[in-house]
Amino acid sequence: MAHIVPFKAVRPTRDKVSLLAARSYDSYTPAQVESRLRDNPFSFLHIVNPGYKYDKVIAGTERYSLVRNRYLEFKEDGIFMQDKKPSFYIYKIVNRDGLEFNGIVAAASVRDYEQDVIKKHEDTIEYREEIFKNYLKTVGFNAEAVLLTYPDNDSLEAIIENGMKDRAEYEFTTTYRDTHYVWNVDDAVLVEKITSLFSEMKTLYIADGHHRSSSSFLMAKDCASENKNHTGEEPYNFFMSYLIPESDLKIYEFNRLVRDLNGLTKEEFLIKLDAVYRIENRGQEYYKPSKKHHFSMYLDGSFYSLYLRKDYKFKNALDSLDAQILHETVLKPILGIEDARNDTRLDYSHGKNDLAYVKTVVDKGDFKVGFGLLPVTTSELKQIADEGLKMPPKSTYIEPKLRSGVTIYEF
C-alpha cells in the first residue's frame, strides 16, 4: 500500500514566489537563462547555476557544492522560509490552454519505488542516475517534484475542492501564462485523512520523473548503508512528489524526426515501408493520425498516411504501442537506428509543437523525414507498467509541469 507523508517544506515568502519559481533548467534557451540571471536576483536559476556569480561555467562536484552554498544563502537572506508543521500542499495549475490540474504535493516512499508499489513505464540511464544521486547527496534537497498519478478518488477530490475554497497561500502567473495556486494543509485531522486515503491505494504510477525517483532511491540506499541507526523513516527515505488523479493527466505524443534515409533513395525507402504499411500520398494536406497504428509521415514536401497492415502481430502491451511499432518496423530495420535513446540521427518533437513544426524543420533540410503519432493513453501507460515493460524513449510528453523552487524537500 502507498506510503505518502507530509513534510515541512522550505518555500519562498509570498512576495517572492513569482520571482523565484522557475521551469526545469533544460527547458530554457541559453539566451533565456542569461536574461533571467541578469535581471532577476531572486530566480531559482541562480541556485542551480551558481557559476553565474563568478562569470564562469562550473560543472561536476564543484558545482554541486556551490548549489548548496547558494541555496543556504537564499535561506539566510530570508528569501526562503520553512513551515513549522508537517504539511501536505494542495497545488492547482491552470495552464495557458485553459487546462486545470489539481493535486497534492507530498513525500513518497523509496521503499514503495523499490517494491513496485510505485510503478514505472520508462527505462532510465545508469550514468544519469549516478550523476543526479551524487547531486542530491551533496545539495541535500529536492526542488522538482516527481509527477505521480493515482486512481480517481472521490474522498481526495472532496478534500482538495474544500481546501481550495480558502485563500491560496500562493497565487501567481508566470511569463509562460500558467497560473499556479498553493494551499497549505497542516490540520492534523486532514493530514491523517489524506495519509490514510493514500495508504488504501495498491499502486501509484510515475507519469514524469523516472530519473529523479530512481536517483532518490539510489541515494537512500547509500545513506542507509552509512547510517548505523537507520530506521527507514529518515527524510532521505522519501522524495517530493506531485500526486494527481488519472483523469487530470494530459499526455501528448512525441513525433520522430530523422536526419537521413540511411543511404536509401526516397523510392527505395517507400518500397520498404510498403511491406508493413498501406501508404497514401496526401500531398500538402496536414494529415494527423486519428486511430492507433496509424502514422503520419512528412517526406520531400508531401504528407503521407501510413496504416499498419492488419497481419502485424502483437505479443504484449508494449508491442502494440505506436512508438514501439514505429521503432521495430521503420527506425530500426529500415533507417538503421538501433539505439533510439542515443543515436544523434534521431530527434523528437512533442505534440504541442504540432506537425507544422515537423514540416518546417524537414523543409529547412535539418531532417529528411518526420513521423507523427497519436498520444499514448493513460490506460496504455498503466498496462505497460503493470506488465513490467518499458516504453521507448520519448514516448510521452506529460502535463502538468511544476515550477522548481515553489516547495522544497530537505533530507
Calculate the average pLDDT of the chain: 95
- pLDDT < 50 stretches in the chain: none
Domains defined for the chain, CATH in brackets: 4-251+399-410 (no CATH), 254-374 (3.30.1760)
Burial class (CB in 10 A: 0-12, 13-18, 19+), 385: buried
**Residues 133-192: tens digit of each pLDDT:** 999 999 999 999 999 999 999 999 999 999 999 999 999 999 889 999 999 999 999 999
C-alpha cell of residue 11: 518555500
pLDDT at 314: 92
pLDDT attached to residue 56? 87
Q: What pLDDT is stored for residue 340 in this prediction?
A: 86
